[in-house]
Amino acid sequence: MDINTYSNPLNERYASKEMLYLFSPHKKFSTWRKLWIALAESEKELGLNITDEQIAEMKANVDNIDFPYAAEMERKFRHDVMAHVHTFGKVCPKAMPIIHLGATSAYVGDNTDLIVMKEAMVLIRKKLISVMNNIAKFAVKYKDMPALGFTHFQPAQLTTVGKRACLWLQDFMLDFETLEFAIENLRFRGVKGTTGTQASFLHLFEGDHDKVRRLDITVSSKMDFDKVLTITGQTYTRKQDSRVLAALASLAESAHKMATDIRLLANLKEVEEPFEKNQIGSSAMAYKRNPMRSERVCSLSRHVITLSINPYMTHATQWFERTLDDSANRRISNSEAFLTMDAVLELLYNITDGLVVYERMIHRRVMDELPFMATENIIMESVKRGGDRQELHEIIREASMEAGKRVKSEGLDNDLLERLANHSGVPLTREEIDSLLEPSKFVGRAPEQVTDFLEGEVQPILDKYRDCIGLDVDIKV
């Protein structure tokens, strides 16, 4: 590491080696060479004078990239594609005359970007599936455990720990659908020429439109794309970048929401992220157990969301067939969005693989608030015993106000149930009232909803992608 040169934290601290490689110079320029080979093979198959020897020479040197020489050529030509044409030609002298034949720079540049984005989305999908699997297992384990629900971060009706996890999982399910759509509908630029008219290829094939069509389809197929843009300018429409980064931003907002919930639950001492034996929560406060991974998820997720604005602005400001003011922006925003989302998912996998649940604290908070929630049941049971519903409502309202004041103003325990048991207008004993306070009676269909959701919607996806489940995650900090 050069301590005098800026190093992107995504490289040093956050992104995985797999994702870093996809956006590496070797991946980029070796893919350029594969595209040149696919072009030469297809042109040969369609009748151009290209030899097997030339193609074999190119295939033998896909990874033989002289990066210092390429840098020297780029300084000379001020053009990255021509620099690499000459670098490839240096080790492929027989093939040099036909490398990049009929193509424009966007042939290798744009098509490589699409190949890398597609592979990166597949890697993101793999990691998302593993996170979803962790959450699903957690939801099954805790589907019946009553927990205090919150609206406005104020106590509300009970839910279950597993049902709350399914709120997170539901969001990720929607993100999965968006990501699947983006992967399946990413269209290759293909072989289109300088302004997208395919004029150079029409000239090469002496006006044979059918051969030009077949060239476009054949090259795209060789690069594993079955969908190809029929219409392009010099570049593929940058609207494709918008669609892809929107899928990543959607995933980031779900990650942020989940991580925020975990941070709040950590403060409530109900659920915590994993905390390692020698981990230090604070340099000053030795007792601290800060939710640092969840905080980092939120921090990085915000970065993905902000990066997703760039392709909207870039596409909106492209002039006619293309301008180059997209290039520098895309080099940063597209790659960083993937690298950052990769880091987020690795963190989420680590968190969801070891969530700590404090069952007694959850039960204690439920029982602290349950007397207020049980008042409707107390009214209904009292009416069965001959009580007047309206009178009971007023008795309970007044008692609830007094009990609430006692808790908030005096810091004492909630004595609502004792007040009601001692009130002459309530025809129930304390034991009878207590029997109405079984938490499982207040969670509605939460356990059944968890089962229905997991079995009906989540499990089919996990089954389809079962080979993707499981990550070897190394959280660096």
Asked if 272 and 266 count as a contact pair (C-beta separation under 8 A), the reply is: yes
Asked if 216 and 192 count as a contact pair (C-beta separation under 8 A), the reply is: yes
**Catalytic: which of 152, 283, 409, 424?**
152
Counting beta carbons within 10 angstroms of the beta carbon of residue 305, is it exposed (0 to 12), middle (13 to 18) or buried (19 or more)? Answer: buried
- For 8, residues 6+ apart whose C-beta sits below 8 A from its C-beta are none
Backbone angles phi and psi of 272, in degrees to 5: -130, 155
Q: Is-catalytic flag, 282?
A: yes
Give the SS3 label for residue 125: helix
DSSP code of residue 374: T
Q: Is-catalytic flag, 363?
A: no
Asked if 353 and 302 count as a contact pair (C-beta separation under 8 A), the reply is: no
**Catalytic: which of 26, 203, 209, 282?**
282
d(CA 213, CA 462): 39
Asked if 132 and 176 count as a contact pair (C-beta separation under 8 A), the reply is: yes
Q: List strand residue ranges (DSSP E) for 72-203, in order.
A: 146-151, 154-160
Q: What is the DSSP string of 176-223?
A: HHHHHHHHHT--B--S--SSSS-HHHHHHTTT-HHHHHHHHHHHHHHT
Pairing of strands 154-160, 271-272: unpaired
Is the CA virtual torsion 125, 132, 253, 354 positive or negative? negative
Longest Cα–Cα distance in the chain: 104
Catalytic residue IDs: 152, 282
